[in-house]
Chains A and B, each alone.
Chain A
Amino acid sequence: MDLPVIIATFAFGMFAGSIGTMLGLGGGVLMIIFFIIGLNLPAQQAVALSLLAVIASSSMGGSVYIRDKMTNLKLAMILETCTVTGAVIGALLAMMMPVSAIQLLLGAVLIYAAATMIKGVREAETPALPVKGLTVKGEYTDECTKMRVCYTVIRMKLGLFLSLIAGVVSGLVGIGGGVIMVPIMNLAMKIPMKAAAATSNFMVGVTAAASAFVYFKQGYVDLYMAVPSVLGIMVGAYAGTLMMGKMRSNMLRRMLGFILAFFALVLFMKAAGVLSW
């Protein structure tokens, strides 16, 4: 394998890792697009490599976010039960139904979420709704504003249901859960942007690991490509955690909005058969 490819993969890994960690996405979709369009790799190899990349960015970013208490561990664990269950259901469903309709639907949902994010809803207006059952609270220090942000998770049942759907969709479409989980947590459950991103970033590693082994057994991992992509992602992910701390929540939301709109476009192209993985 030639040096330019290694360098390009490492560099793109850094880019995807920093964006992914900053916004809580993992960066898997960006890597897939790079592998398929940029390097012309077969779809299954691209997916296998991108799953590894997601685990790398989730673990690297997660180690920083959880140390800094940005990640809401309990919330992540509760929602993980639904996303992993959904992912298994989605993987089973994918074997028996055409997914282009779902891709179009998800694309439309992402456009809606993107518009809401870009418009910029005011944050930290946590309504004092009574929370029944498992109550989850959280707090963190926003490094940008130097303020202590406290929040109570609301609409837990809705959040659990949406997480299940998110898992099913990510299993079906092969797009990481993060793209869907950050809007769910931020828009529906009113979790502040930074906590939502850190918590989602933490969760995506588990979902990716669950499907990674399936691809490993089939031997789809190109070991020599894995090294620059994983190492690049790790460096980028670490940088991403530093950048996220310094950035304003609204800026992050706007960036996420544009990324979601871009992903929606990718999904429409996928549904139309222009892209496939």
Chain B
Amino acid sequence: MVDVETTISWILRAGVLVSAALMAIGLFINPSIIWMGVLVLALTPFIRVLMAGLYFLGQKDAPYFVIALYVILVLVISSLMKM
């Protein structure tokens, strides 16, 4: 099994590259594609926390699974909050 560091590195890199590509393409074609790039970028940190959580669940490492779960929960709450 690939270790968690490598997995997270891939996720982050994929997020960065996909969003960079969407943003660059959108600049010439349509702003709504830029918007998709922005969303992909903003979701990347969420996904990496989620994947770390799943990894620790798979490892039956309860404390770190709970930690990841908690961070995701707070992230969701704070994104729903009003200014």
User: CB-CB < 8 A to B37: which residues of A?
Assistant: 227, 230
Determine if B38 and A226 form an interchain contact, defined as CB atoms under 8 angstroms apart. yes
Q: Which of B5, B23, B42 contacts A216 (CB 8 A)?
A: B42
Residue of A nearest to B82 (CB): A214
Instruction: Fill in one digit per residue for A38-74: 1 if any B CB lies within 8 Å of its CB, else 0.
Output: 0000000000000010011011101110110101011
User: CB-CB < 8 A to A218: which residues of B?
Assistant: 83
In the complex, A58→B9 CA distance in Å?
11
From residue B45, how far is it (CB to closest CB) to chain A in Å?
4
In the complex, A88→B9 CA distance in Å?
27
Residue A85 CB within 8 A of the other chain: yes
In the complex, A91→B19 CA distance in Å?
28
From residue B83, how far is it (CB to closest CB) to chain A in Å?
6
User: CB-CB < 8 A to A215: which residues of B?
Assistant: 83
Determine if B64 and A56 form an interchain contact, defined as CB atoms under 8 angstroms apart. no
Known: A63-B16, A227-B23. A52 touches B41 (CB 8 A): yes
From residue A163, how far is it (CB to closest CB) to chain B in Å?
12
In the complex, A147→B44 CA distance in Å?
33
Known: A71-B5, A209-B42. A226 touches B74 (CB 8 A): no
In the complex, A216→B31 CA distance in Å?
15
In the complex, A55→B81 CA distance in Å?
19
In the complex, A227→B37 CA distance in Å?
9
Q: Which of A85, A134, A205, A216 contacts B74 (CB 8 A)?
A: A85
Determine if A63 and B12 form an interchain contact, defined as CB atoms under 8 angstroms apart. yes
- CB within 8 Å of B: which A67-111 residues: 67, 69, 71, 73-74, 77-78, 80-81, 84-85, 87-88, 91
User: CB-CB < 8 A to B16: which residues of A?
Assistant: 56, 59-60, 63, 234
In the complex, A74→B67 CA distance in Å?
10
In the complex, A80→B26 CA distance in Å?
33
User: CB-CB < 8 A to A161: which residues of B?
Assistant: none
From residue B25, how far is it (CB to closest CB) to chain A in Å?
10
User: CB-CB < 8 A to A74: which residues of B?
Assistant: 64
Determine if B45 and A58 form an interchain contact, defined as CB atoms under 8 angstroms apart. yes
From residue A50, how far is it (CB to closest CB) to chain B in Å?
13
From residue B7, how far is it (CB to closest CB) to chain A in Å?
9
In the complex, A231→B22 CA distance in Å?
11
In the complex, A229→B67 CA distance in Å?
33
Q: Which of B34, B43, B45, B67 contacts A226 (CB 8 A)?
A: B34
**Residues on A close to B: CB < 8 A?**
52, 55-56, 58-60, 62-64, 66-67, 69, 71, 73-74, 77-78, 80-81, 84-85, 87-88, 91, 134, 205-206, 208-216, 218, 221, 223-224, 226-227, 230-231, 234
**Residues on B close to A: CB < 8 A?**
4-6, 8-10, 12-13, 15-16, 19-20, 23-24, 26-27, 31, 34-35, 37-38, 41-46, 48-49, 52, 63-64, 67-68, 70-71, 74-75, 77-79, 81-83
